[in-house]
Amino acid sequence: MAGVETVEIEIVRLPHGRDLALPDYATAAAAGADLLAAIDQDIELGSLERRIVPTGIAISLPVGFEAQVRPRSGLAAKNGITVANAPGTIDADYRGEVGVILINLGKEPFRITRGMRIAQLVVARHARAVWSEVSELGQTDRGAGGFGSTGVTGGPIPKR
C-alpha cells in the first residue's frame, strides 16, 4: 500500500502452530495483523476468567520497534473478550512464543477454538527516554488536571 512504512520481521512457526496462517492484515489499511489461537483443545473462558492463549509463533523485532498485542474490537463489543494487559508489549529482545492474555468480561462463557482470531498485533517504532530532572515543569492550560478533568462533552478545556 502506497505511503505505508514496512519493516521486515523474522518469524518462526512453532510446532503447535505449523498448520496455522502467519499473522495477517484483514484489510489493506489495517494497522493490526490478526493473531490466531494455537491450541489443541477448545478453551472455555468463564466470566471474569483469564488465560494465556498461545499463538504458535515467535518473532524477532528490530531494535527501535515494539509489537503491541491489542484486543479485537468485535470480540470485545459482542462478547466482552479483551486483552487483560492491553496493549501487551513485545520488546525487540524477546524471543519466546507470543502469548495473548485474554479475559472474559462478559457474563457468559466464551469458547476459544483452534485458529480463531483472538487479538491483533501492531508493530510500532518507539523512542527511548533520556530523563532530565528539573526542579519545575513548564506551565500549560491543562496543568495537573487529569482523570476526567477535561469533561465528557466537546469544547475547550475548562479553565481552573
- C-alpha of 65 from chain center: 14
User: 17-21: long-range contacts (C-beta < 8 A, 24 or more apart)?
Assistant: 17/54, 17/55, 17/56, 17/57, 18/56, 20/56, 20/114, 20/115, 21/115
Question: Which residues, at least 6 apart from 79, have a Cβ–Cβ distance to it below 8 Å?
Answer: 104, 106, 108, 110
Report phi then psi at 156, rounded to 5: -70, 160
Q: Which of 78, 85, 25 is nearest to 53 (CA)?
A: 85
User: Beta-carbon neighbour count of residue 124 at 10 Å?
Assistant: 13
Amino acid residing at 18:
R
Return the CATH number of the domain spanning residue range 10-125: 2.70.40.10
Cis before 109? omega within 30:
no
* Tens-level pLDDT at each residue, the chain (160 residues): 678 889 999 999 999 999 999 999 999 999 999 999 999 999 999 999 999 999 999 999 999 999 999 999 999 999 999 999 999 999 999 999 999 999 999 999 999 999 999 999 999 999 999 999 999 999 998 888 888 777 777 766 666 5
**Whole-model pTM over 0.85:** yes
| In the chain, domain spans | 10-125
